[in-house]
């Protein structure tokens, strides 16, 4: 609520330089980043459940506690992105949104993709060792 009020106040004060497209860019990046983190973790977990059926109960229980455990992190990510969107829109500069997008791509998108490929490669090696 405070973030929405501050965004409204900033847009009222800086109405001549306020940029709604820049605000939208930064504000939409928050739910996108949080959703990417949540669903990429679930995708890796589902892959692990398929590869290790004996560990299904433990992995499923861990996946079910994902949202309660990281709720504050996901919410904080969304609020931080909205704050940066307010800054970017108020300054009428795409630099904060571009920097945020770059950081998210490097720190939020690439590591899960790399980890997913590494995990699949290790699982393939383990399953081929187990079959021989």
pLDDT digits (tens, 9 = 90+) for 75-91: 999 999 999 998 899 88
Name every residue whose Cβ is closer than 8 Å to that of residue 85 and which is 6 or more positions away in sequence: 7, 22, 23, 24, 25, 26, 27, 29, 30, 97
* Average confidence (pLDDT) over 103-130: 83
Confidence of residue 73 (pLDDT cuts 50, 70, 90): very high
Q: Any idea what DSSP says for residue 55? A: G
Count other Cβ atoms within 10 Å, centred on residue 29.
22
User: Measured between alpha carbons, how far is 38 from 41 in angstroms, rounded to an integer?
Assistant: 5
Structure tokens at 62: 């861990």
pLDDT at 61 over 80: yes
Asked whether the whole model's pTM tops 0.85, one would answer no
pLDDT at 62 over 80: yes
Residue with tokens 């501050």: 6
């Amino acid at each position: 609520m405070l973030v929405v009020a501050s965004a409204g106040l900033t847009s009222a004060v800086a109405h001549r330089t306020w940029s709604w497209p820049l605000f939208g860019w930064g504000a939409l990046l928050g739910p996108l980043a949080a959703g990417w983190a949540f669903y990429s973790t679930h995708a890796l977990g589902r892959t692990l459940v398929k590869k290790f059926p004996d560990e299904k109960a433990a992995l499923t229980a861990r996946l079910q506690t994902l949202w309660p455990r990281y709720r504050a992190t996901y919410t904080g990510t969304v609020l931080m992105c909205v704050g940066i969107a307010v800054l970017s829109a108020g300054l009428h500069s795409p630099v904060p949104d571009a920097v945020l997008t770059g950081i998210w791509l490097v720190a939020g998108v690439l590591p899960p993709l790399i980890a997913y490929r590494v995990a699949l490669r290790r699982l393939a090696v383990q399953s081929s060792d187990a079959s021989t």
